[in-house]
Structures are given as C-alpha cells and as structure tokens.
Amino acid sequence: MNGTQRVLILNGPNLDRLDLRDSTIYGSMNFQELSAFVIAKAVELGLTAEVRQSNSESEIITWLHEAADQRLPVIFNPAAFTHYSYAIRDAVAMLTAPLIEVHLSNPLSREEFRHTSVISGVAKGTITGFGASSYALALSAMKELI
C-alpha cells in the first residue's frame, strides 16, 4: 500500500482483443497499451489505477461487489454488456462510491442497438467517443469527485 486512492478500472468483453478490432472505431492501442496509458494517467493525478478486463459477466459482477464492499471508485467500460446486462446494472446500483461509465467510441453515433445503455442511469456520469482519452477524462473527473 502506498497510501494513494485506489480506483478500479473495469473493462468488459472483447476489449482484451482491441488490436484485432476496427482501429477506425477503437483506436490503435492494444489492451496492454491502453492499460499502461491509464495507469500512467492515474499516477499523474496521484491515484492508483487497478486495471482489469473480463469476458465474463459473472466475474465483472464479483468485482463490482468487491468495489461496493471496499468503497472503491470505479471507471467502467462495460463493452457490449452496456446495452443489455440488467445483472450488471443491478450490481452498479449497489456501489458505495462513484462509478463513471466510459466508452472508446461514441455508441450514439453507431448501430441502433448501441444507443441504449442500461448502465448510464446508475452511473455518476458517462464519457464516450474520445478513445483512450475517455479513460483519462474519467480519471480527472474521478479525482474531483473523491
């Protein structure tokens, strides 16, 4: 423990394979580069970012329960779960510290099924469309909140 505030950075399905996804939509960083970028940005702000990714709804829910129990703030890219996971929404609703929803792309400028977020209504706020900078902007906002 170095005494700085921990922030969980949770990432949903397929974000581990960013290098294989459409770079015109998701940018050119692979997931490892994105993680390093987020960790470095957190250090600049005096925060400790713990970056996790899972393709499993169950594992993400377990992490959200852990965040609730430990009063940890969360920056969350739920990926495709954004659009339909009521189980994840219910877990987010039980958090005890702020959660900021982020997306690399702007889902509202894409296919219709991406226009619905079942998470936004229980998030403190949402930052979309800025690529990796969506996470950096969320960290700055989180720093102000906590």
Does the footprint of ligand DQA cover residue 35 (CB under 6 A)? no
Does the footprint of ligand DQA cover residue 38 (CB under 6 A)? no
Does the footprint of ligand DQA cover residue 80 (CB under 6 A)? yes
Edge-to-edge, what's the strand order for the sheet holding 47-53? Answer: 47-53, 5-11, 74-77, 99-103, 125-128
CA distance 13 to 76: 12
CA distance 99 to 8: 9
* Catalytic residue flag (residue 84): no
Among 104, 127, 139, 142, binds ligand DQA (CB under 6 A): 104
Give, as one character, the DSSP assignment of residue 82.
Answer: G
Does the footprint of ligand DQA cover residue 142 (CB under 6 A)? no
Among 61, 79, 97, 139, binds ligand DQA (CB under 6 A): 79
Question: Alpha carbon of 69 to those of 72, 73, 88: distances in Å?
Answer: 8, 11, 16
Residue 71 or 115 having the CB closest to ligand DQA: 115
* Catalytic residue flag (residue 135): no
Which residues of this protein are in contact with ligand DQA, per CB under 6 A?
A: 14, 77, 79-80, 82, 103-105, 107, 114
Q: Which residues are catalytic?
A: 26, 103
